[in-house]
Structure 1
Amino acid sequence: MNQYKPELQATAKDLDELFRLSDAGADSIYVGHQDFANRASGDLTIDEIKQATEHLQAQNKKIYVMVNAIYHNEHLKALPSYLKQLESINVDGIVAGDQAIYQVIKDIGSSLSINWHPSTLATNYQTLKFWHKRGLSRATLSNELSLDAVREIKEQVDFPIDIQIHGMTNIFQSKRRLVQNYYDHVGQYYDPDQKRFIKEDRKEDTHYPIFEDKNGTHIMSNEDLMMIDHLDIILDAEIDGLKIEGILKETDYNEAIVAIYREAIDTYLADPEAYQQKKSGWKQRIYQIQPNDRRLNTGFYFKEQIY
């Protein structure tokens, strides 16, 4: 009997969201702190991560801590201590993209499991095999891949592969505080909590969220990814991790999205025909709660998307 059961993954900005997403059906949760993580939804302290770990593992679920910042020399001073604390808490893994993580893990003799997530660089199976020999335990593929490419990579590697199935994607990052620098330049007050968007020239319907954290400036996709219609293809390929990116979304929204995908995944694995009959209803539920300024599409999975 096929024992395939994918891991439904979600991101949480605080403990309340983590508890609610777990109850909604997430199998694992991504958390982080901006001192070490790129585009973490929030800032969880070590004590909060310990509490989250105990809560999730008591339910036979997992916690992954994002340490996927691009590190400069000064960052490497605090990183070993942070990793040692995460290991002592017994988190299920770390999410990393900077190659320095491999050397730091070796230097401190850590056995932390590495989920390799180098953003746009995880596009072929040979690169992933290279890093697997050096310590990665699983890998998150780039959002720029087609589903055919995803399937091919999955067939070529013997470790878990994760992909994103819903939410925003990052399309640009700068280590500079571009928004704050602009406000300083024009002599206006900068409110870091204000939501901001940029548009393409001659394309008034574009709506790219832009925000800053300790790791610089981030511009997010014009649309949200939604793969509820195509889970059958993903599940038939036996992709190991299916991630819902909840950054810049309210907890109520993320909770509802996790619940919908949980129901859809379980339905397909139990009865593929029932999934086909019900998927239009799940899609409609998503459209009902989707913010008016966020369109939905399938990203690069079926076509070359131009941002």
Structure 2
Amino acid sequence: MATTRKLKRPEVLAPAGTLEKLKVAIHYGADAVYIGGNAYGLRSRAGNFTYEQMAEGVAFAKEHNAKVYVAANMVTHEGNQEGAGEFFRELRDVGISAVIVSDPALIEICITEAPGLPVHLSTQASATNYETLEFWKNEGLERVVLGREVSMEEVAEIRRNTDVEIEAFIHGAMCISYSGRCTLSNHMSMRDANRGGCSQSCRWKYDLYDLPFGEERRSLTKNGEVAEEFSMSAVDMSMIEHIPDIIENGIDSLKIEGRMKSIHYVSTVSNVYKAAVDSYMADPENYVCKQEWIDELWKVAQRELATGFYYGTPTENEQLFGARRKIPEYKFIGEVLSYDEATKIATIRQRNAFEVGDEIEFYGPGFHHFEQKIEVMYNEDNESIDRAPNAMMIVTMPVNEKVEPGDMIRKRK
């Protein structure tokens, strides 16, 4: 049992739905990323990795002292486990740092058929007390991803009573169901949420209708209003204002949700939590949560933000229904490929349309930000253009400050 504990720098763990997102997350400060393989995951529509892509991702991560984990957290039915031993051996041999699993059958297969590959328990397994963590430790697991229903007080209690590594979600979308175990999607769209096919039925818009025979349906509640009367959708989580609690209470890995999110999201959120963790570890006594970190996260927010179950059971205020709060929306428009210091010209790959006259913002790792107006830009033939409408087209433009390859560009919608 753990009784005393030195302050330990937690890992910032970012989602990586594709190889590009993996590299972006690590470039922007993630200490580790989690990805999906071609089987056993819960994100069948994410850009799941081939073994060759995994090998490239692992090599890139090692160059930057980072780790790669693979989520294999589906709930198996009869026959689903066939081939799992070979799958886990491939992950081990390609250099994956750990596999995240929830199903006891897959855990047993991994431990017995792919020795040497560490196993982490998925949040889907609903670990919410230290006795559970001790059980899985005795089964050979070294880390547990806590159920999202665990409070900060319970985190502290768990840490006091076990030395198992604790991973917990600190940012991103929240599932409305207990530890993500939901069957709404199964019943409403014949897509198994626990085997990778969730259709997010909880995010759908619901209403109460009158359905007269032979006539169009008519809402009984809205009367032309756009506010949602019925919803099961939770707001998203953000723990940026509670970094001291997270670290002091012994969470070892700060998990960011979002394998299907954009590189704009991955880069921004990784950048923010990296900065916050580094700031706290450098001087805990004088740590202050900076407003610029909070503002930055709102630039990629899709929903309102709250703290989940950490400080009490969520109420109706943590649900999405009724009038929505207006969130400032930013569009990711490009990335810097190169920069010529002599001419102060940046070469940019377009990701969404932009044009001369737009006010844009450059940002990069370590919180180098600046804004400027596009005065002039050129295509690959060095011809002056007013607009960059074509996906992935290459343009050049003068910039007001030095930029680096990999810096991102966005504009407010």
TM-score band (shorter)?
A: 0.7 to 0.9
Distance 2:309 2:121 in 1: 20
Give the TM-score, by structure 2 length: 0.63
Q: Are 1:197 and 2:183 matched, yes or no?
A: no
Q: Are 1:52 and 2:63 matched, yes or no?
A: no
Q: Give the structure 1 partner of residue 237 of structure 2.
A: 225
Q: Are 1:125 and 2:130 matched, yes or no?
A: yes
Relative to total residues, which structure has the larger helix share, 1 or 2? 1
Instruction: Choose from 173, 183, 189 the match for 1:168.
Output: 173
Q: Cα offset for 1:249?
A: 2.3
* Higher RCO (CA-CA < 8 Å; seq separation 6+): 1
Q: Are 1:21 and 2:21 matched, yes or no?
A: no
* Identical counterparts, % of pairs: 29
Q: Is the 8 A contact 1:122 1:128 kept in 2?
A: yes
Distance 1:160 1:152 in 2: 14
Q: Cα offset for 1:121?
A: 1.6
Distance 2:82 2:184 in 1: 19
List gaps (5 residues or longer) in structure 1. 183-191, 209-220
Distance 2:186 2:264 in 1: 30
Q: Cα offset for 1:154?
A: 1.3
Q: Are 1:253 and 2:257 matched, yes or no?
A: no
Q: Is the 8 A contact 2:128 2:150 kept in 1?
A: yes
Q: Give the structure 2 partner of residue 265 of structure 1.
A: 277
Q: What letter is aligned with 1:241?
A: S
Pairs within 5 Å for 1:77-226: 77-108=82-113, 110-119=115-124, 121-172=126-177, 173-174=182-183, 177-178=186-187, 180-181=189-190, 197-199=203-205, 204=228, 221-226=233-238
Q: In structure 2, the residue corresponding to 1:126 is in which secondary structure? A: helix
Q: In structure 2, the residue corresponding to 1:75 is in which secondary structure? A: coil
Instruction: Choose from 45, 63, 71 the match for 2:68.
Output: 63
Q: Cα offset for 1:138?
A: 0.5
Deviations 1:43-77 (A, max 9, x none): 11111111111111222111101111101221111
Structure number, greater radius of gyration: 2
Distance 2:24 2:40 in 1: 24
Q: In structure 2, the residue corresponding to 1:136 is in which secondary structure? A: coil
Q: What letter is aligned with 1:136?
A: L
Q: Give the structure 2 partner of residue 4 of structure 1.
A: 8
- CA gap of 1:162–1:223, structure 2 versus 1, over 3 A, is same
Q: Is the 8 A contact 2:243 2:277 kept in 1?
A: yes
- CA gap of 1:66–1:194, structure 2 versus 1, over 3 A, is closer
Q: Is the 8 A contact 1:98 1:118 kept in 2?
A: no
- CA gap of 1:5–1:289, structure 2 versus 1, over 3 A, is same
Q: Give the structure 2 partner of residue 74 of structure 1.
A: 79
Q: Is the 8 A contact 2:143 2:167 kept in 1?
A: yes
Name which of structure 1's ranges 198-207 and 87-96 shifts more when overlaid on structure 2: 198-207
Distance 1:287 1:126 in 2: 37
Q: What letter is aligned with 1:267?
A: S
Q: What letter is aligned with 1:17?
A: K
Instruction: Choose from 221, 243, 252 the match for 2:255.
Output: 243
Distance 2:286 2:298 in 1: 21
- CA gap of 1:72–1:195, structure 2 versus 1, over 3 A, is closer
- CA gap of 1:252–1:4, structure 2 versus 1, over 3 A, is same
- CA gap of 1:295–1:46, structure 2 versus 1, over 3 A, is same
Q: Cα offset for 1:299?
A: 0.6
Q: Is the 8 A contact 2:89 2:114 kept in 1?
A: no
Q: Is the 8 A contact 2:73 2:124 kept in 1?
A: no
Q: In structure 2, the residue corresponding to 1:4 is in which secondary structure? A: coil
Q: Give the structure 1 partner of residue 40 of structure 2.
A: 36
Name which of structure 1's ranges 30-39 and 196-205 shifts more when overlaid on structure 2: 196-205
Give the TM-score, by structure 1 length: 0.83
Distance 1:160 1:284 in 2: 31
Deviations 1:63-92 (A, max 9, x none): 101111101221111211101101111210
Deviations 1:268-293 (A, max 9, x none): 111235531x42221122123323xx
Q: Cα offset for 1:127?
A: 1.0
Q: Cα offset for 1:226?
A: 0.3
Distance 1:73 1:107 in 2: 19
Aligned residues: 283
Q: Cα offset for 1:257?
A: 0.9
Instruction: Choose from 281, 300, 303 the match for 2:292.
Output: 281
